[in-house]
Amino acid sequence: MMALFDVMCAVFLLLGEVYAHQCKITDVKGYKKADCRKLQLKTIPSDISKDIDVLDLRDNDLSVLKNDSFENFYNLKELLVSNNNISRIETEVFYELQQLKVLDMSENNIERISDQFDQNMFQYSRNLYKLDIRRNMKDAKRNQSAYTYPGAALSLLVNLTFL
Ligand SMILES: *[C@@H]1O[C@H](CO)[C@@H](O)[C@H](O)[C@H]1NC(C)=O
Ligand SMILES: *[C@@H]1O[C@H](CO)[C@@H](O)[C@H](O)[C@H]1NC(C)=O
Ligand SMILES: *[C@@H]1O[C@H](CO)[C@@H](O)[C@H](O)[C@H]1NC(C)=O
Ligand SMILES: *[C@@H]1O[C@H](CO)[C@@H](O)[C@H](O)[C@H]1NC(C)=O
């Protein structure tokens, strides 16, 4: 009886291990990628190694990008959050992502996008050259005048080539 109990404990521990690391981590010649697609995530998993280069959070249920959401991801070059339900972005969320080159926020629910894009939002992300904010227009369909181009926030990005 005791042995069976032990075995069951071991099985649960094992399952716990597996489910605690849902993101698939790959490392191709030192370029580390966390593939966290389609995991119904509502928050950024806290157990992802902070030195990754790519964080792929597409097709989840994120609703807000907080000031500290990407804290300590100093190495991040590509951040993909397309097809979530993001409606709010806090001003400092990208401050620590000074290496960031690619940011895909398409297919979300970002309302009043020009208000939310604070003019300082990308002040430390000067390497950003690809920014995708397409299909965030759910709000604009209701109110055309509410959708204006977030020019001030982007004027700092001299190398931005794709929008
Ligand atoms: C996020 O940072 C901005 C800028 O410092 C600040 O105004 C805002 O209150 C912060 N938001 C939260 C929820 O702490
Ligand atoms: C998306 O977020 C809104 C609030 O901003 C919420 O009312 C809605 O239920 C969310 N949709 C999904 C599919 O999670
Ligand atoms: C913009 O790109 C040029 C040419 O690749 C590079 O020399 C320059 O440092 C870049 N500027 C910034 C702010 O990243
Ligand atoms: C449309 O957006 C503008 C600017 O944000 C606002 O002043 C106006 O009240 C909105 N109209 C409606 C019908 O929501």
Distance, in Å, from the CA atom of 44 to the CA atom of 36, rounded to the nearest integer, reads 9
| Residue 42 domain boundaries | 22-138+148-154
> How many degrees, rounded to 5, is the angle at CA 42 between CA 125 and CA 138?
75
Q: How far is the CA of 92 from the centre of ligand 1 (A)?
A: 7
- pLDDT tens per residue across span 145-154: 544 566 666 6
- pLDDT tens per residue across span 17-40: 444 448 999 999 999 999 999 999
C-alpha distances out from residue 161 to 96, 111, 123, 132, Å: 22, 24, 17, 11
**50: CATH:** 3.80.10.10
Nearest alpha carbon, ligand 3 atom 11? 159
Q: Is residue 38 part of a domain?
A: yes
Q: Is residue 163 part of a domain?
A: no
Q: Which ligand is nearest to the CA of 121?
A: 1
Q: Is residue 57 part of a domain?
A: yes
Distance, in Å, from the CA atom of 91 to the CA atom of 74, rounded to the nearest integer, reads 17
